Chain A
Amino acid sequence: KNEVEQSPQNLTAQEGEFITINCSYSVGISALHWLQQHPGGGIVSLFMLSSGKKKHGRLIATINIQEKHSSLHITASHPRDSAVYICAVKQGGNKLVFGAGTILRVKS
């Protein structure tokens, strides 16, 4: 079992829908990252969280440390949001463990 599990693995949504991607982890962490990987391959960092909630534009990330769970929400989704969304957790000793990613496709 991976230390970082993402769900769903694949998600297809209609433009305008509210989208939620989940990340659960089984180890103690000091921070959690959400990354976006575009079809061209490039990866960009979206958020780094250690508690609570962060918002950037239409993207919202939340984390519940007690439940070892984080969610990434996309409001008013758009085809340009189509990408792979990756959760990564930072453990002690500077180890970074990545989830397998959620493939999101937003149809117009």
Chain B
Amino acid sequence: NAGVTQTPKFRVLKTGQSMTLLCAQDMNHEYMYWYRQDPGMGLRLIHYSVGEGTTAKGEVPDGYNVSRLKKQNFLLGLESAAPSQTSVYFCASSRAWFRGANEAFFGQGTRLTVV
């Protein structure tokens, strides 16, 4: 099925460990986004990309890095995980930036716990 696929779905990390979350979309979308979702708060944009080879910071970029080497993949990296990064992470893609009649397609989420 077409859509946005995130891996892994769950992960537990120890403080200081590193990991990479992978987001893959097969809709040829230019725009991709990484959000985090925390209890009582709305989704917050971490980083985004407007095309292959480009990335930009969102609202809460500190402690994260991203790469978009291929159009279909958007990677989110945590170099040294901290308990404050315990969250549910969502990847999304869209043909254009949430405007006009375009829809944003979201992945299923990755539940990350940092202990």
Contact = CB atoms under 8 A, between A and B. Distances in A.
Interface of A: 2, 4, 30-31, 33, 35, 40-45, 48, 86, 88, 90, 94, 96-101
A42 B5 CA distance: 10
Interface of B: 40-45, 88, 90, 92, 97-99, 101, 103-109, 111
Contacts of A48: 98, 101, 103
Contacts of B108: 40-42
Given A41-B88, A44-B106, A45-B104, A88 B97 contact: no
Q: Summarize A's interface: helix, strand, loop or mixed.
A: strand
Contacts of A98: 42-44
13 contacts: A2-B42, A4-B42, A41-B88, A41-B109, A43-B90, A45-B103, A48-B98, A48-B101, A86-B42, A94-B97, A94-B98, A99-B42, A100-B40
Nearest to A90: B98
